[in-house]
Structure 1
Amino acid sequence: MKNKSYIGISFIILVFGIIFIPKIIDRIKNNDVTKIDRLNTSGQSETSIDLLMKIGPAPKFSLTNQNGETITNDNYKEKVYLVEFFFSTCPTICPIMNQNMVKIQNHFEERTDFGIVSVTINPENDSSEVLKKHAEHLGVNNPNWNFLTGDKKYIFDLANKGFNIYAGENKDIDGGFEHSGLFALIDKNGNIRCRKDKFGNPIVYYDGLEETSVQALQQDIKVLLDEK
């Protein structure tokens, strides 16, 4: 009987290997095995103000934009806006983030009460002049999209201590800097807003690399723009 049991178990393992292992390998190759859909978007083509959580006030800031002007959070009063941390020479995730921002910009091109704040984490290279060329290269046409530079410690504190969006310097990786690809969504009253994940927890920030996140942001920005 034991031999029959072993044969039966071995047969099940063999069938499992033939059917499922190639699929697992394909998922690892495609990097799908580590991707988790945090957003609560299943069956949800629209959102409502009741679904957007209020995390708290966004950190205040004062930096210099691509035109050499001082820009603060006061410039965004009565506006819905996004905040990202990036750098112009980033060889990895920044181009994807910037292109997704352009996509969102174009989606709301009729709205004068929508803006974007892109803060460089490499201000030693990213002067106002460099950022102006970068904005022109991206096709930025929203007058409320400011590319900001300034003191490096101030910027790193703003990212890591203010927004809790990681940014760091690492000379051992391509580009010399590492950071998350997250976007912060701020409402007209200066509060960080977000939807919940599928477990009912606030996502806090939106993944700037994922198409589902971009779609969710477009939905949630519209809701905040129309909020009375």
Structure 2
Amino acid sequence: MHIRSIFILLVITNALFSCKSNQTEELPYLGIPTEENQKPQIPSFSFTDQLNRPTTEATFKDKIYIADFFFTSCPTICPKVTAQMLRIYKEFEQNPEVAYLSHSVDTRHDSVPKLKQYADKLNIDHDKWHFVTGKKEEIFSISKNYMSIVLEDPDAPGGYDHSGYIILVDKDRHIRAYCNGTDPADVDKFIDKIKVLLKAG
């Protein structure tokens, strides 16, 4: 889908949810249905995390998870987004139902040892937060299912252009909320939506 179309969809969806949230705490189902009347769902996937473990949809069985796209040498938005991801991680650190999935878009340079080094600096539980790599085409392709933008661009800082969205996925792999990971105030609202989803079970 064209980048502009994705952006417009996100803006409209967010506006609709903002109106709805005043009346109910139920979170919407976001994304683009693949079939008529079907709730959008993140497809099956298979990546490798920072401990060289296979990471698939089964890794997140019976858990909600928070997802983003990044790369370790990103000089622009990634440090800000990762800092906000860490805020969310600490908020729900003791909750076994919440996990995290960070996809590296730089599959050439972000090796498993490099991802582990990056994760170690954050002092996180490697069983809760998975930093993954895999085939470039598979990571780029699945980013569309997360309504995120990932482009290889030699003119962009670090060589990649990607959105700074943080995405909330429920136990059935449906997107239920997202936020701008560079905006702490937006992340505050996102944290509240995580609590709503947890309360819903």
TM range (shorter): 0.7 to 0.9
Correspondent of 2:56 among 56, 72, 76: 72
The number of residues matched between the two structures is: 178
Contact 1:47 1:223 in 2 (8 A): no
What does residue 156 of structure 1 align with? 140
Task: Give the drift of 1:189.
Answer: 2.2
> Where does 1:15-54 land on structure 2 (aligned, <5 Å)?
49-50=25-26, 52-54=27-29
Q: Report which of the two structures shows the higher radius of gyration computed on alpha carbons.
A: 1
Matching of residue 167 in structure 1 with residue 140 in structure 2: no
Offset, 1:154: 1.2
CA distance in 1, matches of 2:18, 2:183: 13
Q: Which runs of 5+ in 2 are unaligned?
A: 1-10, 31-39
Give yes or no for the alignment of 1:131 onto 2:115: yes
Q: Tell me the percent identity.
A: 32
Corresponding residue for 1:105?
A: 89
Structure 1's 137 and 86: CA in aligned 2 closer, same or farther, altered over 3 A?
same
- Deviating beyond 4 angstroms after TM superposition, the runs of 4 or more aligned structure 1 residues are 38-42
For residue 173 of structure 1, report the CA deviation from its aligned partner.
2.3
Give, in angstroms, the shift of residue 164 of structure 1: 3.0
Tell me if structure 2 keeps the 8 A contact 1:49–1:227.
no
Give the letter for the 1:148 counterpart: V
Instruction: List runs of 5+ in structure 1 lacking aligned partners.
Output: 1-35, 195-204
| Aligned-residue CA RMSD (Å) | 2.2
In the TM superposition, what are the counterparts of 1:179-218 in structure 2 within 5 Å? 179-194=162-177, 205-218=178-191
The 3-state SS of whatever aligns with 2:172 is coil
TM-score of the two chains, using structure 1 as the length reference: 0.72
1:224 to 194, 197, 201: 197
TM-score normalised over the length of structure 2? 0.81
Offset from partner CA, 1:17-48 (integer Å, 9 cap, x none): xxxxxxxxxxxxxxxxxxx9x67779x9x996
